[in-house]
Amino acid sequence: MNYSQNELMIAAAARELQGARVAFVGVGLPNIVCNLAQRSHSPNLELVYEAGVFGAHPARLPLSIGDPTIVTGAVGAMGMSDLFQFYLQRGLIDVGFLGAAQIDQYGNINTTVIGDYKKPKVRLPGSGGAAEIAVLCEKILVITRLNKRAFVPRVDFITSPGHLGGGDARKKLNVRGRGPEAVITDLCILRFAEDTREMMVTSLHPNVTREKVQENIGWQVRFAENVETTEAPSEQELQLIRDELDPKGLYSR
């Protein structure tokens, strides 16, 4: 069955949630990814939305973190501050799923400004709850399209800390969460080296070459010793994406 690069990216990202208990859902692509995981291989996955909903089982893809459909059948609905205090800060959320306007080789994310902070070329939406998610969730997964504009050697501003300067820099700050574990893109999957915490390619999507990946990254990227080929989306995954989650193709086409 034919599929788009975005559909492959979404399916691959959803598989990263196998075995997860609770996922903090970001807007955009993380939203469709987490809902796909819940409707396929991880029916017991509890979804948490920043607006104050824990254990969401939405009947359709929510249009935003405040969409009323996330409340129906949820375990609990509360104020945003209560959600962050009683669930996130207590370490009850094991996966945070984030997007990124910019991301560097150590997984630091920028969603604040492009250019100088005081005189930016572009002013972005900012953190929302992403900084807290990046620090307090047990691990972080990132989904974004691969291009040099987004994958930069050094982000213009650290909105959500990854592995900071690499090595044990994050550990020295005594941050609870382990930080970014994987970055899923439309061309490949990247993970972080145990020693340097530098991003490296561990899986190439079908028909994607190393040269194609390098062309779209702003630094000399590392490749794992044994680079795998990403599994194609299944018929079930494609059916869920096309018929239930994104019939208009806003994210997947």
Catalytic residues: 50
Where do we find the tokens 């572009």? 122
- Cα separations (Å) of 244 from 59, 68, 248, 249? 9, 17, 10, 11
Cα–Cα nearest to 213, from 155, 141, 145, 140:
145
**DSSP codes, 158-221:** -SB-SSTTSTTHHHHTT-SS--EEEEE-SSEEEEE-TTT--EEEEEEPTT--HHHHHHTSSS--
102 to each of 116, 159, 235, how far by Cα in Å?
14, 10, 32
Output the CA angle 159-164-170, nearest 5 degrees: 110
